[in-house]
């Protein structure tokens, strides 16, 4: 047979088996930028022993809005989405190339589990790519996209990535979805309902969500531009806000116009943003409320991510400290909190704190000089104290008043003025500036210019 004819026949068979994945890839990458690698790598199927052309995965390199990336896209339509040792080899090759060339890596996951007849061989394949994903950290950015199923160890692989983006049709579980749902009395066909993007958002796994490929493409480009440390054109660094009455007002005032992209949206008191301040990329961590296990986990992840790429952290705090809840204690909140404190203490990126209120452990974690903050700002009406006024009144009522029956509101005000006013902390050298809250942007911009 003519070699060109045979090549075309093989390409035709290959493309027929991966139409959906190719269409997705075409939308995700810039026009004519994708170059495939390892196209004819194949193992065998568990059904009839014939060659598994392409191994249900497409690997290669391309650009996304001009940003070079190495990537893979799994194809659920091929061999029921089963992961194989040959898939692992293809993934390893593009991951190695990404690290060698200093180029970001994007993994698009859609796999129902392992190729069953490969035994330990396929498990070694999983271990191989998980190890590579772990070693890739601090080297090049890794964005994982849950396009469809992320079952078993592919769920672990995705969670090793820097950022996880969840699709509308995506779902993820460490154990088999059918087993997870059946054990809880749910219909096994409802994987998307119970294990999809809503569950991923609630658990904190999903940093971002997408409904269409155009949105996903923009999200990937935004994340990779941010993690690269690339600057943007700044707005006026001396801009004074019309009003700053809340943490969200402060975040809006600090960030350049429209630049704040919230990631890992969930029910936690802590919110995290990729943003720009005076043109420089910054991670903004805002806390409005009491700190729980969920907050500590979220803070730890965010701090570690920023530190890996030396992105400055801006902490905006309005918190009465730890949540006094039995459920938190039963979950081992102190151990989880310790991991967040450890992450903050060991991080070496520049850190700026902005305090509206910082009580007890919230101050120690999110604003303290001794935990690693380089520059700390307090609003003129801020409270900085070991205890909230509600707690302190019960603890110190005799110290604060000769009349135990005195109105508690008066006692609270006295405690706040005597022990919690920001000038006391500034006098002790822990606060660099006490400011009008409306001037927060100029102060943060000035601090960044010195720290970067």
Is residue 342 located within the same domain as residue 377? yes
Closest CA to 23 of 213, 171, 167: 213
Q: Which domain range does residue 8 map to?
A: 3-224
The residues, ordered by sequence, that sit 6+ positions from 88 with a Cβ below 8 Å of its Cβ are 122, 124, 125, 126, 128, 129
Model pLDDT, residue 236: 92
DSSP state of 247: H
User: How far apart are alpha carbons 318 and 247 in whole angstroms?
Assistant: 7
Is residue 209 located within the same domain as residue 265? no
Is residue 128 located within the same domain as residue 173? yes
User: How far apart are alpha carbons 425 and 443 in whole angstroms?
Assistant: 18
Closest CA to 208 of 259, 150, 262: 262
Task: For residue 408, give the CATH number of its domain.
Answer: 3.90.226.10
> How far, in Å, are 99, 106, 249 from residue 141 at the CA level?
9, 8, 30
3-state secondary structure of 285: strand
Is residue 101 located within the same domain as residue 198? yes
Last residue of a domain, one of 201, 224, 247: 224
User: How far apart are alpha carbons 68 and 419 in whole angstroms?
Assistant: 54
Model pLDDT, residue 185: 78
Is residue 328 located within the same domain as residue 353? yes
Is residue 117 located within the same domain as residue 242? no
User: How far apart are alpha carbons 313 and 302 in whole angstroms?
Assistant: 9
Model pLDDT, residue 404: 59
Supply 239's token pair: 């801009």
Do the beta carbons of residue 372 and residue 341 sit within 8 Å?
A: no
Is residue 201 located within the same domain as residue 339? no
Supply 312's token pair: 């400055």
Model pLDDT, residue 46: 45
- Burial readout 419-452 (b: 16 or more C-beta within 10 A, e: otherwise): bbbbeebbeeebbbebbebbbbbbbbbebbeeee
User: How far apart are alpha carbons 416 and 234 in whole angstroms?
Assistant: 38
Is residue 119 located within the same domain as residue 33? yes
Closest CA to 79 of 127, 113, 118: 113
Q: List the pLDDT tens digit at each of the 452 positions of the chain.
A: 566 666 556 556 656 667 888 899 999 999 999 999 988 776 555 444 445 555 689 999 999 999 999 999 998 887 767 899 989 999 999 999 999 999 999 999 999 888 888 899 999 999 999 999 999 998 999 999 999 999 999 999 999 999 999 999 998 988 877 677 777 778 777 777 778 777 777 777 889 999 999 999 999 999 999 999 988 878 899 999 999 999 999 999 999 998 999 999 887 899 999 999 999 999 999 999 999 999 999 999 999 999 999 999 999 999 999 998 888 899 899 999 999 999 999 999 999 999 999 999 999 999 999 999 999 999 999 999 998 877 777 765 555 556 655 567 777 777 777 788 999 999 999 999 999 999 999 999 999 999 98
Structural domains of the chain, count: 2
Is residue 380 located within the same domain as residue 423? yes
Is residue 44 located within the same domain as residue 150? yes
Q: Computed from CA positions of residues 143, 276, 444, 291, in that sequence, does the dihedral angle turn out positive or negative?
A: negative
Is residue 157 located within the same domain as residue 95? yes
Side-chain half-sphere exposure of 283, counting CA atoms within 13 A: 29
CA angle 389, 390, 392 (to 5 degrees): 60
The residue assigned the tokens 């630049």 is 259
Element (H, E) at 286: strand 280-288
Q: Alpha helices, DSSP H only, in 161-292?
A: 177-183, 191-195, 197-203, 213-227, 247-254
Last residue of a domain, one of 171, 191, 224: 224
Closest CA to 275 of 300, 287, 258: 258
Model pLDDT, residue 217: 98
The residues, ordered by sequence, that sit 6+ positions from 264 with a Cβ below 8 Å of its Cβ are 204, 206, 207, 272, 298, 301, 302
Supply 50's token pair: 């014939």
Model pLDDT, residue 174: 87
Query: 153-160 and 120-136 are packed helices; what angle lies between their axes, rounded to 10 degrees?
Result: 10
Supply 372's token pair: 């690693």
Query: How, if at all, do strands 113-114 and 280-288 pair?
Result: unpaired
Is residue 168 located within the same domain as residue 244? no
**Could you report the per-residue pLDDT of 222-262, keeping only the tens digit for each?**
999 999 998 887 889 999 999 999 999 999 999 999 899 99
Closest CA to 24 of 37, 34, 14, 10: 34
Q: Alpha helices, DSSP H only, in 309-371?
A: 326-330, 333-346, 361-366
Max CA pair span of the chain? 104
Last residue of a domain, one of 196, 224, 252: 224
3-state secondary structure of 408: helix
User: How far apart are alpha carbons 377 and 323 in whole angstroms?
Assistant: 24
Do the beta carbons of residue 111 and residue 72 sit within 8 Å?
A: no
Query: How, if at all, do strands 375-385 and 433-435 pair?
Result: parallel
């Amino acid at each position: 047979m003519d070699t060109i004819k045979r090549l075309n026949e093989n390409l035709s068979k290959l493309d027929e088996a991966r139409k959906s994945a190719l269409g997705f890839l075409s939308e995700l990458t810039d026009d004519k930028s994708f170059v495939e690698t390892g196209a004819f790598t194949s193992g065998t199927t568990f059904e009839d022993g014939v060659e598994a052309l392409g191994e249900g995965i497409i690997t290669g390199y391309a650009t996304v809005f001009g940003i070079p990336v190495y990537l893979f896209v799994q194809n659920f339509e091929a061999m029921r989405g089963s992961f194989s040792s040959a898939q692992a080899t293809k993934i390893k090759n593009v991951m190695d190339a990404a690290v060698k060339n200093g180029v970001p890596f994007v993994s698009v996951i859609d796999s129902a589990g392992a190729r069953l007849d490969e035994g330990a061989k396929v498990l070694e394949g999983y271990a191989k790519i998980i190890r590579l994903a772990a070693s890739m950290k601090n080297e090049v950015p890794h964005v994982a996209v849950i396009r469809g199923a992320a079952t078993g160890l592919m769920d672990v692989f995705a969670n090793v990535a820097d950022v996880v983006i969840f699709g509308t049709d995506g779902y993820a579980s460490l154990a088999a979805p059918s087993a997870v749902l059946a054990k809880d009395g749910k219909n096994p066909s409802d994987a998307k309902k119970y294990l999809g993007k809503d569950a991923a958002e609630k658990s904190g796994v999903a940093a971002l969500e997408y409904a269409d490929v155009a949105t996903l493409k923009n999200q990937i480009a935004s994340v990779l531009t941010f993690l690269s440390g690339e600057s943007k054109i700044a707005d006026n660094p001396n801009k004074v806000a019309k009003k700053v009455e809340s943490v969200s007002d402060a975040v809006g005032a600090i960030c350049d116009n429209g630049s704040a992209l919230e990631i890992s949206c969930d029910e936690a008191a802590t919110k995290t943003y990729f943003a720009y301040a005076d043109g420089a990329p910054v991670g903004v961590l805002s806390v409005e409320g009491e700190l729980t296990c969920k907050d500590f986990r979220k803070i730890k992840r965010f701090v570690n991510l920023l530190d890996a790429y030396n992105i400055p952290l801006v902490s905006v705090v309005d918190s009465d400290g730890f949540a006094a809840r039995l459920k938190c204690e039963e979950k081992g909140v102190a151990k989880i909190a310790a991991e967040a404190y450890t992450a903050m203490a060991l991080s070496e990126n520049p850190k700026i704190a902005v305090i509206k209120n910082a009580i007890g452990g919230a101050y120690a974690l999110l604003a303290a000089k001794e935990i690693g903050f380089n520059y700390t700002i307090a609003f003129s009406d801020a409270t900085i104290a070991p205890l909230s006024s509600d707690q302190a009144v019960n603890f110190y009522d005799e110290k604060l008043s000769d009349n135990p029956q005195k109105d508690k509101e008066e006692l609270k005000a006295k405690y706040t003025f005597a022990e919690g006013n920001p000038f006391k902390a500034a006098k002790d050298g822990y606060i660099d500036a006490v400011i009008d809250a409306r001037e927060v942007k100029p102060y943060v911009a000035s601090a960044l210019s010195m720290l970067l």
